[in-house]
């Protein structure tokens, strides 16, 4: 299915609303749009980094 949007005629607000609707729709079926492997690796790395910080405030602000 091909859907053409008249992007050049849409306002920025309209474009952002369209993006939001698309993301909301994709979120309904996450298994149909799986994340790439590198994304999972980044999440694991971020979790590891967060756990290494001993000060709870550091975990919140990333410092």
The answer to whether residue 46 is domain-embedded is yes
Q: How far apart are CA 46 and CA 35, in angstroms?
A: 16
Query: How many domains is the chain partitioned into structurally?
Result: 1
Residue with the bigger pLDDT between 53 and 16: it is: 16
**Residue 27, both tokens:** 């979120």
pLDDT of residue 7: 93
**Residue 7, both tokens:** 């992007």
Q: How far apart are CA 6 and CA 3, in angstroms?
A: 10
**Does the predicted model carry a pTM greater than 0.75?**
no
Closest CA to 35 of 44, 15, 13, 3: 44
The answer to whether residue 1 is domain-embedded is no
End-to-end CA distance of the chain: 47
Domain that holds residue 43: 7-53
pLDDT of residue 42: 94
Tens-digit pLDDT profile for residues 4-51: 889 999 999 999 999 999 999 998 998 888 889 999 999 999 888 877
Residue 63 binned pLDDT confidence (cut-offs 50, 70, 90): low
The answer to whether residue 60 is domain-embedded is no
The answer to whether residue 13 is domain-embedded is yes
């Amino acid at each position: 299915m091909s859907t053409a949007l008249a992007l050049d005629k849409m306002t920025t607000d309209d474009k952002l609303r369209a993006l939001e609707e698309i993301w909301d729709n994709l979120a309904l079926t996450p298994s149909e749009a799986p994340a790439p492997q590198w994304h999972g690796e980044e999440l694991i790395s971020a979790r590891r980094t967060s756990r290494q910080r001993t000060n709870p405030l550091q975990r919140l602000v990333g410092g």
